[in-house]
Amino acid sequence: MTSSPSPIERLKDVMARLRQPDGGCPWDVEQTFATIAPYTVEEAYEVADAIQRDDMRDLKEELGDLLFQVIFHARMAEEQGLFSFDDVAEAIADKLVRRHPHVFSDAGHRTSEQQTAAWEEIKAEERRGKEKHGVLDDVPVGLPALTRAVKLTKRAGRVGFDWPTADEVIAKLHEELDELREEIDARDQARIRDEMGDVLFVVANLARKLGVEPEDALRSSNAKFVRRFHHIEARLAESGRKPTDSTLHEMDALWNEARLADKAEAS
């Protein structure tokens, strides 16, 4: 009696079948690394969203979707003779062992802080081995802009290019806001865009100094906005109206009503 394949082997077989030129799925067959990349990023966000909602059933499904993205990329690479899924798994296992000598060798016990410092040093050594000598060379360009800004400033901070405290960053933020105001008054759209970018970059740096993940903070604020706006819609619907039938003054009052309800629930 032959045993059933493991779940991961079954998934690899399903992916191979989907990619078969004859008998596979035409959409899957025509995809490339570049066309699939946006879906990979999207699925990672879906995982984060499920975690934020504390929806473990959804998390299981979203992790499967993300794993499928890994399998998809690995299958395309295998077809081109570049590497396989097993190579990917082996490489990450090797990396984890290499970056945890206190677990897999005789480096001795480390605190969380000591491990973080050692991890960064090992990563720096790996970058040197890849001939990426610049401090910022391997911060991925494809990251969400706020996340990349945090990583850029964190990396620069490790070599001393950093504000000593959050107060200096806040002062810089006020400076950038003043510059943005000047360009708004001048009505120079190109310069407004540049200065707006500078403001957002400083905000990301401030979040890092305060120990806040800006993407998480902004997702939370987005959810809060949606929740409070739903309150406005619900209250207006009680009188058979929509936001377009209301005024800014009335909607602002309902917004404050929702804000107070949030505060009462949190206390």
The Cα–Cα gap between 77 and 68 comes to: 14
Residue 23: predicted pLDDT: 93
Residue 131: predicted pLDDT: 55
pTM for this model (two decimals)? 0.64
Cα dist from 14 to 20, 26, 28, 75, 130, whole Å: 10, 14, 11, 11, 34
Residue 110: predicted pLDDT: 64
Residue 188 has pLDDT above 90, yes or no: yes
Residue 3: predicted pLDDT: 76
Residue 173 has pLDDT above 90, yes or no: yes
Residue 120 has pLDDT above 70, yes or no: no
Q: What is the pLDDT of residues 196-231, one digit of tens each?
A: 999 999 999 999 999 999 988 998 899 999 999 999
Mean of the pLDDT values across residues 36-61? 91
Residue 107, classed as helix, strand or coil, is: coil
Residue 219: predicted pLDDT: 87
- 111 or 5, which is more confident: 5
Residue 239 has pLDDT above 90, yes or no: yes
Grade residue 117 by pLDDT with cuts at 50, 70 and 90: low
Note whether 208 and 146 are within 8 A (CB). no
Burial level of 150, CB count in 10 A (0-12/13-18/19+)?
A: buried
What is the identity of the amino acid at 21?
Answer: P
Q: Which of 41-50, 226-235, 242-251 has the lowest mean pLDDT?
A: 41-50
Residue 105: predicted pLDDT: 77
Which position has the token pair 């897999």?
A: 104
Cα dist from 31 to 14, 15, 18, 46, 191, whole Å: 16, 12, 11, 21, 38
Mean of the pLDDT values across residues 33-51? 91
Give the domains, in start order, of the chain with CATH numbers.
7-99 (1.10.287.1080), 134-212 (1.10.287.1080), 215-266 (no CATH)
The percent of residues above 70 in pLDDT, for the chain, comes to: 89
For the record, the structure tokens of 113 come out as 């802080």
In three state form, how does the secondary structure of 125-180 look?
A: HHHHHCCCCCCCCCCCCCCCHHHHHHHHHHHHHCCCCCCCCHHHHHHHHHHHHHHH
